[in-house]
Structure 1
Amino acid sequence: MSDYPAVKISGLGFTYPSQSGSLFTDLNLEIQQGERFGLFGPNGAGKTTLMSLMTGLLPFNEGIIELNGQSIQTKDKKINQLFGYVPQDFSFYDELTPVENLEFFGAWSGLNTKQIKQRTAELLDVMNLTSVANKAVTKFSGGMKRRVNLAIGVIHQPKILFLDEPTVGVDVQTRHDILNYLLQLNKNGTTLIYTSHQLSEAEELCKRVAMIDNGKIVAHDDLDKLLVDHEQDGLEGLFLNLTGKNFSQS
C-alpha cells in the first residue's frame, strides 16, 4: 500500500463561470487509503461538484488534488487507471449489451483483450447479469441498469472508487446486493468515496464522513465519533444538527 492518502485536496478553489462568487475557497480534505468515506450535504452544497473535481471531470481554478500522490491535473493515463467512477446518471450505451459495454469501457480503461474477457465474465456473474449478457441494456429494469453501471466503474479494478447515488431507484434486494459487493471491494483494499440521499444506507456503508454546506466542510471525522460529539443517534439527526437543513431541501 502506498504511503500517500487516497485523496488529498489542498487549497482548492472553484467557481462556476455562470456564477458570481466562489463555490469553494481554500478547501482542504484528506481521505486515507482503504476508508469507506461518505460526503454529505444539502442539495447545492457542492457534493457532486467536488466529486467531479476529484475525478477530473471539472477543471479547478486553484489548489491541488492528488490521488495516491499523483496530481489529477497531469491528465496521465495512470491517473485514470487509479480510480473508477459510478455516476448517478447512467454511463453506458443503451443500444449495446452488457458484454459490449464492458468490452468498450474495459478497452478505454487500458485493459487488454484477455483481461477484458476475464473481468467481463467475473462481473456478469457477480452482478447476476449472465443470463442477459447479450441483450440490449435499453430493455433492462432500473436495478439491472444500476448493476451494469457499477460493473463498468470497477472493470479495471480501481484502487479508489467514487460513487454518486449508486443505488438510487433500485429495489431492496438490488440495494442489498450492491452494498454487499461494495463492502467486499473495500475489504479487499478499495477505497470507497460515496455520496447519497439514502442516509440509512450511508450509515451502513460509511465509517468516516465529511459534511459540506455552502461549499465548506463543516465536519470531518469518524461517523461514530461525530454522533457522540453532537449527541445524535443517526446520520439524519447529525445532518440537521450541522447544517440546519432538511437533506432533501433543494
Structure 2
Amino acid sequence: MDGFPKKIRWSRFLDRRTGRGIIVPIDHGLTIGPVEGLDSMAQMARWIGHPGITGIIAHKGMVARLASYGLIRGVGLMIHLNGMTSLAPHPNHKERLTSVEAALRLGADAVSVQLNFDGTNDAHNLRQLGAVVDEAQQYGVPVLTMLYDKVPCDGDQHRLSRLRHLMRACVELGTDALKLEAPAQIPHVHALLSGIVEHTSVFFAGGAVRSEDEMTRLAQEVVTRGATGLCVGRNVFQRESAATILTQLQRAVFGAPEAPSSERSRPSSVPSSNGKPPHSMEAAE
C-alpha cells in the first residue's frame, strides 16, 4: 500500500498491536432487503460498539443514519460504492452507485466494491474496479474488493485456479485489499494467499451462518496462514448474542482480552439525532 495518506486511513481498520482486523459489513439491505440483525438502529446498537470491531462497511445512506445516532465511533469507516438488488434479472451485475469523492464527504476512510464473476460480466467488473482504483488514488483512499467467483467449477483445484487468477487480476488493477470466501478445504487458504499477502491485505468472509466454534476455528486457521483478518457480517449480527461471538473472534484474531475498553463499549441505548433516546428504540433494548 503506497502513499502515507492511504496508509494512515488503512491503519484505522487494523488492531495497532497485531496489524489484523475484524471488519463487519452491513451493506446487505440493498441486496436482499430487510434482514434480521440490521432491521433497526436498536438491533445494531447492541453490537456495533464492540471493541473487537476495527471497521464497518456500509452504503452511503446507512452511514448518514448511523452517524446521526452516534453509532460510528472509533472504527474505520468504509463506504460501499456499487450494488444490485436480488430482485434484478441479473443480480451479479453490480452497478456503480456513488463516487469516492462522495464517500469522503461522508467521512469514509476507505471504499469497497463487490465483483461477482458469473462468466458473462468479466469486462464490466474489470472496468469498474479499474475506474474506482484510479479515482481513489487521486485522494489517497484504500480500495477493498469483495471478490466472488460464481462460475460452476469441476472440483476444488479448478475453483482454486480460477480464484487465484481473479485475485491476481484485482491486484494488477490496483486494489489494496481483498475479501474472499473461505475455501471448502482450509489447507487451500495457504495456496490462495501465496504471493499475495506480501503486498495485499486479505480478509475472509464468514459466509452462511455457522456455529460459534466453527467460526472461531476459521478465524484461527486463516490468520495462522497469513490472512489479515475477517470481514464477517451475518455470523456477527444474526447471532442471539453478537457480543459473545465478537469477543471470541477478537481473541482468535488479536489474542485480545475479553474485557471491552471504556472508550469502545457499546451504547446502552440508541440516542436520537438530538442526543435523547427515542422511546420506541429504548423499549426495544
Q: Same fold (TM over 0.5)?
A: no
Answer 1 or 2: which has greater strand percent: 1
Taking structure 1 as the reference length, the TM-score comes to 0.44
Taking structure 2 as the reference length, the TM-score comes to 0.39
